[in-house]
Amino acid sequence: MKTIKLIAFGLMLMLAGSTQAQLSIRLNIGTPPAWGPAGYDNARYYYLPDVEAYYDVPHAMFIYQSGNRWVHRAYLPERYRDYDLYNGYKVVLNNYRGNAPYAHFREHRMQYTHGYRGAEQHSIGRREDYRRDNDRGRRADGDNRGRGHDQKENHGHDREN
């Protein structure tokens, strides 16, 4: 009986030793959006001169003025529903380390005026559901409301400052 127990114990040890458990956790917190400029994986904020707004990469939120207040929203305001994030220029704010990039809005607006184009940019990802229309990309279904992440929905995560 003792021999059977030893054999069973030995088999269990062999099986346990040959079994490998893998645990893979992938967090996409702070992942740049597909429309973000390539080569800036560690950027926290983009300034979008055409819409005078900021994009907070870690929180996947746009920051723009609504009345006299700066608000954080998952989407750009309705007036920019046709704005093409893939073709619009993004100024990467590499030197800013705070939580309120809009504190420098006057400087950003003067330095990067509406229509500003610096060095050529390439987006991180491709938008496969878009077609070319009058040199502006629009989604084939006509819905291009300045969404930062096409898969993200706004589930009550809007914040106001």
For the stretch 91-150, pLDDT in tens is 999 888 899 999 999 999 999 988 888 777 777 776 655 444 334 433 333 344 454 444
Q: Which of 132, 141, 121 is nearest to 35 (CA)?
A: 121
And the tokens for 30? 């702070």
Cβ contact 66:74 at 8 Å: no
Q: Which of 92, 17, 111 is nearest to 48 (CA)?
A: 92
Cβ contact 133:141 at 8 Å: no
What 3-state class would DSSP assign to 104?
helix
Distances 132 to 28, 75, 117, 136 between C-alpha atoms, Å? 29, 23, 20, 6
Residue type for position 63: I
Mean pLDDT of the chain: 74
Return the pLDDT at 4: 74
Distances 95 to 3, 23, 42, 98, 157 between C-alpha atoms, Å? 70, 36, 11, 10, 27
Cβ contact 152:74 at 8 Å: yes
Over pLDDT 70: what percentage of the chain?
61
